[in-house]
Amino acid sequence: MSLNTFGHLFRITTWGESHGPAIGATVDGCPPGVPLEAAMLQRWLDRRRPGQSRYTTQRREADEVEILSGVYEGQTTGTPIQLLIRNTDQRSKDYGDIAGKFRPGHADITYWLKYGIRDPRGGGRSSARETASRVAAGGVAREVLKALVPGLKITGYMVQMGPHEIDRARFDWEEISRNPFWAPDAAAAADWAVYLDGLRKAGSSVGAVVEVTISGAPPGLGAPVYGKLDADLAAAMMSINAVKGVEIGEGMAAARLTGEANADEIRMGANGPEFGSNHAGGILGGISTGQDIVVRFAVKPTSSILTPRKTVTRSGENTEIVTKGRHDPCVGIRAVPVGEAMAACVILDHLLLHRAQVGEGPRGRIG
Amino acid sequence: MSLNTFGHLFRITTWGESHGPAIGATVDGCPPGVPLEAAMLQRWLDRRRPGQSRYTTQRREADEVEILSGVYEGQTTGTPIQLLIRNTDQRSKDYGDIAGKFRPGHADITYWLKYGIRDPRGGGRSSARETASRVAAGGVAREVLKALVPGLKITGYMVQMGPHEIDRARFDWEEISRNPFWAPDAAAAADWAVYLDGLRKAGSSVGAVVEVTISGAPPGLGAPVYGKLDADLAAAMMSINAVKGVEIGEGMAAARLTGEANADEIRMGANGPEFGSNHAGGILGGISTGQDIVVRFAVKPTSSILTPRKTVTRSGENTEIVTKGRHDPCVGIRAVPVGEAMAACVILDHLLLHRAQVGEGPRGRIG
Amino acid sequence: MSLNTFGHLFRITTWGESHGPAIGATVDGCPPGVPLEAAMLQRWLDRRRPGQSRYTTQRREADEVEILSGVYEGQTTGTPIQLLIRNTDQRSKDYGDIAGKFRPGHADITYWLKYGIRDPRGGGRSSARETASRVAAGGVAREVLKALVPGLKITGYMVQMGPHEIDRARFDWEEISRNPFWAPDAAAAADWAVYLDGLRKAGSSVGAVVEVTISGAPPGLGAPVYGKLDADLAAAMMSINAVKGVEIGEGMAAARLTGEANADEIRMGANGPEFGSNHAGGILGGISTGQDIVVRFAVKPTSSILTPRKTVTRSGENTEIVTKGRHDPCVGIRAVPVGEAMAACVILDHLLLHRAQVGEGPRGRIG
Amino acid sequence: MSLNTFGHLFRITTWGESHGPAIGATVDGCPPGVPLEAAMLQRWLDRRRPGQSRYTTQRREADEVEILSGVYEGQTTGTPIQLLIRNTDQRSKDYGDIAGKFRPGHADITYWLKYGIRDPRGGGRSSARETASRVAAGGVAREVLKALVPGLKITGYMVQMGPHEIDRARFDWEEISRNPFWAPDAAAAADWAVYLDGLRKAGSSVGAVVEVTISGAPPGLGAPVYGKLDADLAAAMMSINAVKGVEIGEGMAAARLTGEANADEIRMGANGPEFGSNHAGGILGGISTGQDIVVRFAVKPTSSILTPRKTVTRSGENTEIVTKGRHDPCVGIRAVPVGEAMAACVILDHLLLHRAQVGEGPRGRIG
């Protein structure tokens, strides 16, 4: 998990800058014999693609993924899969002001300080564009999971935009794909639409909370104590642009609970132990329980806004900056498929790790 | 960062079970020529050691660390440092009930499901006792940091116990070491004492939030995009027992902010750029800005409580469980030095990673 | 160093099949600010390119490398560098016979057994074509080395073809680039030309020994005991197609020496200690001494020959096979730049590892 | 495979200096449920232990291994296994001369140059004593292999001492354990005894070649192209003290062969394909064929000899050195169990890697 590679055994290395010729992902460690075609990955990329509603950046990228290696006659061969996505809409003139100034809240300044050089066009490597590569690679992970754990399902959705949370009592899985915010609550989605229109017109931006639920994962995934499933999920989500917090199950709210309230009591069910609640978010001691795995992350507002902010130039003069470009008023929206993709990579990785150390399936039996 | 090893270049591998002969940490990648003696590590272990106040488990462990290798005439040699801590107080009879039943909210059940075998004495590998090894290893990291970045300071403290938060207006760095809760707010500490006494007498437990501030870290630490400083901090903290959430800077609250509110504006100061606020928690794009690095994590309540909870036996019968043993009513207290230790390991690791790729210090200059 | 990635900090991941659309290398961990253009890499690729003399395969590949990321305005940015080489000459009809039969001595059979699927066109992933990616990535390493250790020089050459060795008494560095075999002995090169013509016309093939000398490397590179410089060099060379043996300094012949004969005696010179001989090949205890680092490897003959060999079909029938295609009578020739490239990667990797742990330059002084 | 850790999934980290309190190995990634007791490891350590015949160093170490973690009620639990070996015979006075001078051919000088500090007692970390930890860890790997691949057998033996090779026509597996040299040729063993007595009395030393054969390994182990089975075997063997060359199958002699001679022809046998020869040493394209895996390595003579050699002091004065101590006239003898141990680690590691990516057993079928 060093530098630009994520994963222990199912390893993705993403590469490319926002305004270079292309971006992509090198996927290594993929099991052989899994059906794979570009269209299977395109499906997920299309969910992340900008310019699909007025709530995301109007940059128009085709985001077409090509598979350059690792697949033969429609099946993975077990060798590295190179996924390439060409950059087609690179209006770098929009970014003229950024080259010499630093956007407050943006990685401009830290890239510059660290490396002493950076590609300023569209954020270069720090652009959210990098997440397209993750979505493509996550699509590979999904296809492998489909082959190995047929019932497994990974679903991301937004549970909060700015200060506005969904009402869990109205939670509806079917609703998620019906609104442009991936909200599981139709009423919240309607409110958000109005709220975000206001922000967008004001050239402002706002944060969000995204939740990803993984259902159907077998118990036993994860490895104590530094390869914990939740530690890897936390790293995965925190590595996404603009993420500032990660929670598993109760998350930060677990601090408020007593031991009695937090205990997920257990009873025998028809097919093994069943839990009366899921405060744990499906993970105990870093290992999956078989319940839904629930991970949540907060995305900060994009730093590209129309209101002037104080900053400095590279030569050290005080100035102000306004970011015109074409930006997302709420990048959290497009973070939903990215969170799903990262979750898919982590789950598959731990499935392979478990198979390596223990063999197929959990080794312990209850009852 | 696989299984029981943490870190890219400064790597710690912890080993040992709660009730085996010893636990410890194998520290690899340590720079040579750093003054190191057991007493330097003991200092931090003593902070984590149980039985120091009535608010922590009454298990009495000497927690004396021995350095078995990697040090010659009081200096590190650059070879692996083996840190050994003998287990001295192993009343395993306390744990009789646990061998056959699973504690709700505890890793008992997942270790069993995954491996089909586990050391049930005191939680075995999943015991919070493992964190003593981290504190010892973190002590090594601290000594190296002292040599490499003299001004750097890592301070952990509790900011919330159960529903009770500190008042940031009363924040006092000096207060932290004066109360048994590492609280930076004397009034909160007084309240917590009463609150926790009640819980302790009732055989209950409660969660907490711990914050760690790293001041004096140079800008430029961290590596896009999967070796981000915050991604590694998130993994580090989430790997600590009972942690369910991790935040950087604003954390989950970043979701509520607009771009205007979230921007940490920049002005030139005497020694380079200065920031008007620190919503970012000292990290932008996964790379340190030079501001204080602020990470926060939530610790759930320990699952070992006196109130009976529903559970099942290994053979699949419904039953109830009460955990007598000697347990912490608020494990968050002892998580404070653990969080500091993990922070030290991450910062040192990234300091070495930066030195490898870029050389000494940040490469970019402003002004 | 797992699966398709090589290196600890300077990491190359190669991808692609012989007859897919492209092959390439993802280079991660490159220092920033190093001048880099495609032409600098092309120079080395041109040395490896087939079809340049009658002694290598007549397959005609342009082997033009494109840099898709990680470089801005002619300098590395510290982000991943994607190197892409399109496959242009893919006469896959030549390989019809290979799809259903296994070539004795070739990876056909093991890829099939392991994965149950393989791309049979031109050997797919096991083709020597993969080494073009290594040469491109090694070219990046060379440019970084040029910036970090100006005097360092990496030179590969053939010292044996079939049973015919060079005469070390005639060793001439200048001669290496003058003959098509990279032989440092003009007389040997002349003999080899006649010898290889005979083999080529007979549709046969033969093995070779390649030596790589790294001069000007500082002392102190390498890390005990599993990250030894020689262990990494051994892995690097053994990972090249068709390599069956690796030697450092005296190599296998060290077994014949007594302690007296093997000792490289030391005397103080003008600039520090000097060695009277170099049986060690520049490495002691896995760490460089400052002398020339000398690594040697044996390449077996290609298994693609015109004389029929007994084999079996995928369905298990006994049969014979003749490989027509266009093949190298002595693949060792084209292994020379590949060995150089791998050496460059290893040296740079250890330079970065050393800088991480110890800082710039050796820490110990003599005199 | 960085610094002091070896392996991808079955990972061993050795630690400790020759004359510190103890040495040991931290073994991570071990499958659960494997019967394991110290006696099972002791068996192999006893083979490596010095002082057993007049042909090895007279240093007397009990080399008793203790298992400190990872085993419960005689079975591995899947958590890290800490193996501890106390140093009991530490006559460090023997080494007085070495602290200030550098032994030609020894790691003294490179450790000093790299780190600027080293434990000079008995070679410190560079002592062959480190290999005891490998043998213990390899013992764990052997027990796991016994459980997973019952028919697999790993046998090491010496095939050359100084210039004296065994006669392959007299190869006898039974003979190996009957003589103090692990020679498979009784006549050679008798000759070597006389030869080595002469060297020993003269205070000299000599090199050797060790071969390790792994029979019963399934086809399909190994992973292109940098995780090749032979690349990992090469790194494993080259990481052993004093090793200067590694060969697979024909090894360096493969350079002399034509394609016709090198081809291991294939015929269908009762249980699948059979090979008419084994020039490949059981590995093609980095993946095992199912034949015997044959790896060979050359051990240089120990640099500790009684004849004075020219060297320098730390302060840069020319001088001479004689190493009195108690040393092995032919360290190759004790390298035999070490080579076996490393082979066991590599094979198990790749068995787990294969199981992770592909599942149990080879996926492809022939016939």
pLDDT (tens digit per residue) in A297-306: 999 999 889 9
Average pLDDT over residues D74-93: 87
Q: The pTM is what?
A: 0.97
**Amino acid sitting at position A350:** H
Q: Chain C contact for B2, CB < 8 A?
A: no
- Element spanning D261, H or E: helix D259-262
Residue position matching structure tokens 């979505």: A135
D262 interfacial to chain C (CB closer than 8 Å): yes
| Percentage of residues of chain D with pLDDT beyond 90 | 84
Q: SS in 3 state form for chain B?
A: CCCCEECCCCEEEEEECCCCCEEEEEEECCCCCCECCHHHHHHHHHHHCCCCCCCCCCCCCCCCEEECCCEECCEECCCCEEEEEECCCCCHHHHHHHHHECCCCCCHHHHHHHHCCCCCHHHHHHCCCHHHHHHHHHHHHHHHHHHHCCCCEEEEEEEEECCEECCHHHCCHHHHHHCCCCCCCHHHHHHHHHHHHHHHHCCCCECEEEEEEEECCCCCCCECCCECHHHHHHHHHHCCCCEEEEEECCHHHHHHCEHHHHCCCEEEECCEEEECCCCCCCEECCEECCCCEEEEEEECCCCCCCCCEEEEECCCCEEEECCCCCCCCCCHHHHHHHHHHHHHHHHHHHHHHHHHHCCCCCCCCCC
Residues B253-298: pLDDT tens digits? 999 999 999 999 999 999 899 999 999 999 999 999 999 999 999 9
Preferred mutation among B12, B14, B26 to probe D, highest tally of D CBs within 10 A = B26
Asked if D358 and A32 come within 8 Å (Cβ–Cβ), the reply is yes
Helix (H) or strand (E) holding B310: strand B309-312
Q: Which amino acid is at C105?
A: G
Q: Identify the pLDDT of residue B90.
A: 62
CB contacts, 8 Å: A105 with chain B: 259, 262-264, 279-280, 284
Rg of chain B taking only CA atoms, in angstroms: 21
Q: What is the pLDDT of residue C53?
A: 78
> Measured between CB atoms, does D259 come within 8 Å of chain C?
yes
Categorize the per-residue pLDDT at D59 as very low, low, confident or very high, splitting at 50, 70 and 90: low
- Token pair for A152: 């497994």
Q: Does D270 touch chain C (CB under 8 A)?
A: no
Q: What is the pLDDT of residue A121?
A: 82
In this predicted structure, what is the pLDDT of residue D99? 76
Q: What is the pLDDT of residue C144?
A: 98
Residue C326: pLDDT band (50, 70, 90) is low
Residues 322-351 of chain B whose Cβ lies under 8 A from any Cβ of chain A: 332
Report the residue from C33, C353, C363 with minimal CB separation from B363: C33
Mean pLDDT of D20-47: 96
Question: Is the minimum CB–CB distance between D17 and chain C shorter than 8 Å?
Answer: no
Q: Does A9 touch chain D (CB under 8 A)?
A: yes
Tokens matching residue D224? 């292109």
Chain D residue whose CA is closest to B82: D15
Per-residue model confidence as pLDDT tens digits over B88-111: 876 555 566 677 899 999 999 999
Contact A117 C78 (CB under 8 A): yes
Given the structure tokens 């549970």, which residue do they identify? A159
Chain A adjacent subunits, 3+ CB pairs under 8 A: B, C, D
Predicted pLDDT at D97: 67
Per-residue confidence (pLDDT) for residue C35, from 0 to 100: 98
State which H helix or E strand residue B232 sits in: helix B229-238
- Cβ contact (<8 Å) for D352 and A356? yes
What residues 48-107 of chain C have any CB closer than 8 A to a CB of chain D?
A: 102, 104-107
Q: Do C79 and A29 touch (CB under 8 A)?
A: no
C290: closest chain D residue by CA: D110
Nearest chain B CA: its distance from A67 CA (Å): 22
Measured distance between the N- and C-terminal CA atoms of chain C, rounded to whole angstroms: 38
- Judged by CB atoms closer than 8 Å, whether chains meet at C77 and A21 is answered as no
Tokens 């993705």 — which residue?
Answer: A12
Q: Which residues of chain B have pLDDT under 70?
A: 1-2, 58-59, 90-97, 325-326
User: Can you read off the two tokens belonging to residue A32?
Assistant: 């052989």
Question: Does D239 score more than 70 pLDDT?
Answer: yes
Residue to substitute from A14, A284, A299, interface B, most B β-carbons within 10 A? A284
Angle formed at CA A177 by CA A174 and CA A182, multiple of 5 degrees: 110
Q: How far is CA A117 from CA B109, B265, D76, in A?
A: 51, 22, 51
Residues C180-222 pLDDT 10s: 999 999 999 999 999 999 999 999 999 999 999 999 999 999 9
Q: How confident is the model at residue C97 (pLDDT cuts 50, 70, 90)?
A: low
Task: Note whether D35 contacts B: Cβ–Cβ < 8 A.
Answer: no
Q: By the CB < 8 Å criterion, does D309 face chain C?
A: yes
A95 has a pLDDT exceeding 70 = no
pLDDT exceeds 70 at position D10 = yes
Pair B194, B320: CB distance under 8 Å: no
DSSP β-bridge partners for residue C161: C164, C208
D34 touches chain A (CB under 8 A): no
Instruction: Give the nearest partner residue to A32 out of C28, C79, C117, using CB atoms.
Output: C117
Mean pLDDT on A60-64: 83
Helix, strand, or coil here: D82? strand
Residue-wise pLDDT for D294-342, tens only, equals: 999 999 999 889 999 999 999 999 999 998 766 789 999 999 999 999 9
Mean pLDDT for C62-77 is: 96
What is the per-residue pLDDT for D325? 67
Residue corresponding to tokens 């969080």? B339
Could you tell me the pLDDT band of residue C342, with boundaries at 50, 70 and 90?
Answer: very high
Residue A1, pLDDT > 60, answer no
B123 touches chain D (CB under 8 A): no
Residue type for position D192: W
Q: What is the mean pLDDT of residues D16-32?
A: 96
The reported pLDDT for the residue numbered D161 is: 98
String of DSSP letters for A167-232: -GGG--GGGGGGSTT--S-HHHHHHHHHHHHHHHHTT--B-EEEEEEEESPPTT--BTTTB-HHHH
In this model, does residue A208 exceed pLDDT 90? yes
Sorted by sequence, the CB contacts under 8 Å of residue D201 that are 6+ apart come out as none
Cβ-defined contact of D16 to B69 (cutoff 8 Å): yes
C358 interfaces chain D, CB cutoff of 8 Å: yes
Q: What does the DSSP assignment read for C114-139?
A: HHS----GGGGGGSTTHHHHHHHHHH
| CB burial readout B71-110, b (16+ within 10 A) else e | bbeebbbbbbbbbbbbbeebeeebbeebeebbbbbbbbbb
**Is residue C358 within 8 Å of D115, Cβ to Cβ?**
yes
In 3D space, the residue among C125, B2, A348, C121 whose CA is nearest the CA of residue D228 turns out to be C125
DSSP D80: P
Range with lowest mean pLDDT among A235-244, B76-85, D59-68: D59-68
Chosen from D239, D293, D317, D358 to mutate, greatest number of chain C CBs within 10 A: D239
Angle C60-C65-C68 from CA coordinates, rounded to 5°: 145
- Reply yes or no on whether the pLDDT at A347 is more than 80: yes
Q: Tens digit of pLDDT for each residue in D114-153?
A: 999 988 887 889 998 999 999 999 999 999 999 999 999 9
Closest Cβ–Cβ partner in D111, D256, D268 for C316: D268
pLDDT of A212 reads 98
Per-residue DSSP letters for C290-327? SS-EEEEEEEPPPS--SS-EEEEBTTS-EEEE---S--
| DSSP SS3 for B274 | strand
Give the number of B-C residue pairs with CB atoms closer than 8 Å.
48
Q: Are D286 and D225 in contact (CB under 8 A)?
A: yes
Beta carbons of C32 and B79 less than 8 Å apart? no
pLDDT at residue C251 is higher than 70 = yes
| Contact criterion met (CB < 8 Å) for D72 and B117 | yes
pLDDT at B122: 78
pLDDT per position as a tens digit, C257-271: 999 999 999 999 998
Scanning every residue of chain A, which has its alpha carbon at the shortest distance from the alpha carbon of D31?
A357
Average pLDDT over residues C249-261: 97
- Each residue's pLDDT tens digit, D240-261: 999 999 999 999 999 999 999 9
The token duo for D168 is 């392959």
Continuous segment of H or E residues that includes residue B39? helix B38-48
Nearest CA in chain B to D16: B69
Mean pLDDT, chain D, as a whole number? 94
Grade residue A327 by pLDDT with cuts at 50, 70 and 90: confident
- Report the pLDDT value the prediction gives residue B31, as an integer from 0 to 100: 98
Shortest CA distance to C339 belongs to which of C240, C256, C216? C240
Q: Residues with Cβ < 8 Å from B180, sequence gap 6 or more? A: B52, B53, B55, B189, B193, B333
Are the beta carbons of A223 and B2 separated by less than 8 Å? yes
C284-323 per-position pLDDT tens digit: 999 999 999 999 999 999 988 999 999 999 999 999 999 8
Predicted confidence band at C94 (pLDDT cuts at 50, 70, 90)?
low
Q: According to the model, what pLDDT value does residue B96 have?
A: 63
